[in-house]
Each structure stands twice: as C-alpha cells, then as structure tokens.
Structure 1
C-alpha cells in the first residue's frame, strides 16, 4: 500500500515538472519573422478571407472568415507560420 502511494506521488511530481506545450506568446527575434504578405498567402492557402492582421504578444494575430463564412481569430508563429491557436471570433460583426 505504501509503495503504491509513493509511486502515485512520484508520477504526479513527474507530470508537474514536464514542460507545458501550450503557449500564448511568441518569443521570436524580429529578423526571423515572415512578412505580412506570407501570412496573407497562408490565409489564401487555407481558404480564409482576412479582415485584419496585427501583432499581439509577439505573434501574428489574424481575424477573418473561413470557407464556410465563420468568423475566427488565429495566432500564428511569426517565424514558422505555424497556427498556434485558432478560435471562433464572436466579438467581431
């Protein structure tokens, strides 16, 4: 019984020490950034219509609509153009 409790505690400690994969900010030197035109090309490739591109927390943030006309907001890594987060944008009308 005592060993199973210790094993469970060790497993919980290992999970707590693991790095978190989710991130909200980008920490990329400006020299490594792709241009806004590259972000526009990414959007076109995905069938998105852009309303706005801005910089937020060191990432590109775009507002637009998808192929079905649904509004969304996406955070894009400026160095890799990887989509970090995408969510519905209910605020914009």
Structure 2
C-alpha cells in the first residue's frame, strides 16, 4: 500500500500529465472572443441559446443538428471541445411516437 501511495505521489508531480478536470485556468488576455465561440457552434451545426462562462470555461447551451438539447464545454484559449453533454428535455419535441406515448402516460 505504501508503494502505491508513493507511486501516485510521483505521478502527480510529473509535469505535462493531463488530469481530468472541468475547470479552465487561462488568463482572460488569452481567451478567444465570444464571437469565435459562436462561429464554432455554427460550424458544428449547433443552435445557440446561450453562451456563458462556467468554471473558467465557455459553456454553450443549445441544440445539435438533430434538435437534441446539448451543453458544450469549450476551452477559452484553444476553443477545443472539452465536453459535449446531451441534456434531458422537459417537453416533447420530435416524431418518435414511442417517446410520445411514454410521455403521455407519465413514464420515461
């Protein structure tokens, strides 16, 4: 056990090791403008409802080309997509009759 703790401590000290983290730590001077985030969304076919800043990252709330509700986390300096998450919709949209039936019965 001691050996594993020592190895984990060593790995944590290595520079360049990417650890999963939703936070973006970039000085504002290094950020791309909001218009660039809007263009990124348009290039991907996303409809933007809102662009906000969350944990130092840009966050796009909108819809993908199929109409599904999405939340996209974007690195503010590189505009790399960090995370794309599909959100559950409260209302019914679309032609899937099986989903409509489930919604009408109150089950989902």
Aligned to 1:37: 35
Aligned to 2:11: 17
User: Which structure's relative contact order is higher, taking Cα pairs within 8 Å and 6+ residues apart?
Assistant: 1
Asked whether the equivalents of residues 63 and 89 of structure 1 are also in contact (C-alpha less than 8 Å), the reply is no
User: TM-score, normalized by length of structure 1?
Assistant: 0.78
Instruction: Note the 1:41-56 alignment, pairs <5 A.
Output: 41-56=39-54
**Structure 1 unaligned spans of 5+:** 1-8
Per-residue CA shift, 1:53-90, capped at 9, x if unaligned? 00000000110100100101011000000000111122
Aligned to 1:80: 78
Aligned to 2:94: none
User: TM-score, normalized by length of structure 2?
Assistant: 0.68
Per-residue CA shift, 1:7-48, capped at 9, x if unaligned? xx66xx46x836453211000000000111000000000000
The runs of 4+ residues in structure 1 deviating greater than 4 Å are: none
